[in-house]
Structure 1
Amino acid sequence: MNDALKVRVARIEQLAAGIKRFTLEARDGSPLPAFDSGSHVVVHMDGGRLSNAYSLTGQIDDTSCYRISVRLEEASRGGSRHMHENVAEGDELEIGPPGNLFGLADAAGKHLLIAGGIGITPFMTHIQALARQNACFELHYCFRNRQSAAYLDSLPLLLTDTQLKLYESDLGGRLDLAALLAEQPEDTHVYVCGPASLNDAVIAAARKAGWSEERIHYEQFRNDVDTAGGAFEVELAKSGVTLSVGADDTLLRAIEKAGIKVDCMCREGICGSCETAIVDGEADHRDNYLSDDEKAAQKTMMLCVSRARGQRLVLDL
């Protein structure tokens, strides 16, 4: 993590039930790197043992601080629980520089934004950028109830009634995806971030309606996959390092423990940011990113969830 940013937790706020907002400032008081809408940072916690990606939700032209919103996951693997229960104002953290896998499409005539639950977070910067561009856009926000939904107080101040549509499922609110997509102009791009069920539904509905893949954008951070397995060795050809990966460890964590920087946003085999070329050996693919043909070709693998099929792998890293 040679490019890690050292930050101090300046403020913690309770945004909604189970959701906290953390304001982070550079430990030395200097400006933080600039970022564009849809960006995220990876927060390293507990001495690097835990790492989670969180969307930046603050003002896109304010580099005096970063703001992230963290939902306490019921099935937390440690990251969100650590942030909620162990991080206090004044604490110091390390974060990666801003990255972006969910940017806005330049060619879109209209932007259709669909958020589910904590998936609202990347759209908090997108709506700023779109408003500044005087772009045509709508935000459709689905959530269980008002007590557990973030930003319900601020969104109506930022968007008009025609731009913002709310769907509270506990009160029977439901988004009719087919009808919504059918009424969109042909140059509309759709963006969805939320639980897998919502993402899958939007993607399937858009494809069924004949939308091209270039007009469908999504971001997802949950992939319930078993990453455990037999121990194996991995040789990193470029680094000249050979590592042992334990049965209860992941390839990504073993590489990070060796001090080697790897870009990885989701850490769940979804985003594709840690895709690495295989020099020798075969991978036990467990991601939801590569196609079946790509997995069979054994050319690349996702470091965060996949393992070696045999006892040894050689990677172009």
Structure 2
Amino acid sequence: MTAALRTPRVPRPDRPETLEMTVAAVDPLTADIRHVVFTPADPDGLASPTLPPFDAGSHIVVHWTDGANAYSLTNDGAGPTTYEISVRRSPDGAGGSRWVHRLEVGDRVTVTRPRSLFRRANTATHEVLVAGGIGVTPILSHARDAARWGRPVEVIYSHRPDAAAHADELRALCDRPGATFTEVGGPEETSAELDRVLSSSPIGTHAYICGPGPMIEAFRARAAEYRWPASRVHFEAFAAPELDPGEPFDVIDRASGRSITVPSGVSALTALEDAGYRVPNMCRQGVCGECRLSVTAGVPTHRDMVLTDDERAAGTSWLPCVSRCEGDTLEVALP
């Protein structure tokens, strides 16, 4: 999802990692995007009338019978009484979107506490928020936060004519001094607008972009051409670009010395699962970072959209769902 370093999450008995929620509202925003509002299933059991707060750009993980997926929160994170998500139904129902689109008011749902992997940089003096398609969801949260504190912001929303979810809310949030909202459609118009902000934004500007993988990669490459420091470009992808099948290699379990062959066209994550290992994972596309492993020997070939440039250069972290390695073997610390 984003290039943030994960740290171990240690459960606390007085702070459950999951929350039981009830669907309070379901609203169709477009033909294939639904907005779902969750409220506490047992409000009397909460220590306060509000839910745990969250930073702009945070997400919750929604669980169902045979899976789970992360969805960005769209509402204000200061003293929230609801958690709200907007979900686009994938044509193949992948990632749980079909399940979410079947939810009805009154249904019980288990979610995690909010996690922040796409938070705002406190050093930013100006912000550019870029949304592509359903990538508008965390951008909306950032726009709400900027409006609440009166920070200067530019919001750019690239979408199809029939898929402008939350456009009215963004327009209202930017109807104030120091804020602008621009809608674009199509690759050429989007590229021209992004070139404009990359070439003309004042020093100290931080850019936040969420959208399809190719859009994010193009934006990062263009930002580098304009000599933007990588630390000022923050991104979160909801889908990864197509990847080539790669060459076969072996993953070595550091603890046991066992070797697991990863054939061409098969992910290392799948090969490890087939060999009996249980590696935490979620997206299986290199965009969430859930399957991150530590590299103890060998040189990884990074194909994810999570690790920072510094983390890639260090070569000590690896996402087996999409990444491979240079050479024949890679030694990792496995669960």
TM-score of Structure 1 vs Structure 2, range by shorter chain: 0.7 to 0.9
Q: Which amino acid aligns with 2:77?
A: I
Query: Deviation at 1:299?
Result: 4.1
Q: What residue is the counterpart of 1:42 in the other structure? A: 61
1:209 aligns with 2:226: yes
Determine whether 1:315 maps to 2:333.
yes
1:52 alignment partner, one of 69, 83, 99: 69
Provide the C-alpha distance between the structure 2 equivalents of 1:58 and 1:226, rounded to a whole number of angstroms. 38
Q: Is the counterpart of residue 100 in structure 1 residue 119 in structure 2?
A: no
Q: CA deviation at 1:124?
A: 1.6
Matches of 2:99 and 2:252 in 1, distance apart? 30
What residue is the counterpart of 1:219 in the other structure? 236
Decide which of 4, 7, 12 is 2:26's aligned counterpart: 12
- Equivalent residue for 2:158? 142
Could you report, residue by residue, the CA deviation over 1:254-297 in whole angstroms, capped at 9, with x for unpaired residues?
98xx9x895x6754213435422146899897635569998899
Alignment of 1:246-261 (within 5 A): 251=269
Shift of 1:120: 1.0
Which residue type is aligned with residue 113 of structure 2? P
Comparing 126-135 and 181-190, the one that deviates more: 126-135
Which residue of the partner structure matches residue 137 of structure 2? 121
Asked whether the 8 Å contact 2:295–2:330 carries over to 1, the reply is no
- Whole-Å Cα distance in 2 between the matches of residues 235 and 28 of structure 1? 44
Superposition TM-score, scaled by structure 1 size: 0.77
| Gapped regions of structure 1 (runs ≥ 5) | none
Question: Is 1:301–2:318 an aligned residue pair?
Answer: yes
In structure 2, relative to structure 1, the CA distance for the partners of 1:194 and 1:314 (3 Å cut) is closer
Distance in 2 (CA, whole Å) between partners of 1:144 and 1:60 is 28
> Which moves more between the two structures, 114-123 or 54-63?
54-63
Match among 104, 115, 122 for residue 88 of structure 1? 104
Identity within the alignment, %: 34
Distance 1:94 1:315 in 2: 31
Cα separation, partners in 2 of 1:285 and 1:151, compared to 1, 3 Å: closer
**1:70-121 superposed Cα distances (whole Å, 9 cap, x missing partner):** 011235424112211x322222222222111111111111111111111111
Q: Tell me how many residue pairs correspond in the alignment.
A: 304
AA in 2 matched with 1:28: D
| Conservation of the 8 A alpha-carbon contact between 1:225 and 1:268 | no
1:133, CA displacement in angstroms? 2.6
Alpha-carbon contact 2:131-2:209 (below 8 Å) kept: yes
Task: Give secondary structure in 1 for the equivalent of 2:220.
Answer: helix
RMSD: 4.1
How far off is 1:61 after superposition? Answer: 1.9
| SS of residue in 2 equivalent to 1:153 | helix
Note closer, same or farther for the CA distance 1:78–1:250 as it changes in structure 2 (3 Å cut).
farther
Deviations 1:173-232 (A, max 9, x none): 5443222222211111111111123212221221111111111111102124599xx9x9
> Which runs of 5 or more structure 2 residues have no equivalent in the other structure?
1-8, 12-16
Residue 163 (1) aligns with residue 198 (2): no
Residue 77 of structure 2 is aligned to residue 63 of structure 1: no
Q: 1:11 to 1:186 in 2, by over 3 A?
A: same
Structure-1 separation of matches of 2:310 and 2:124: 30
Evaluate the alpha carbon distance shift between residue 290 and residue 110 of structure 1 in structure 2; reply closer, same or farther with a 3 A threshold.
Answer: closer
CA contact (8 A) 1:220 1:266 kept: no
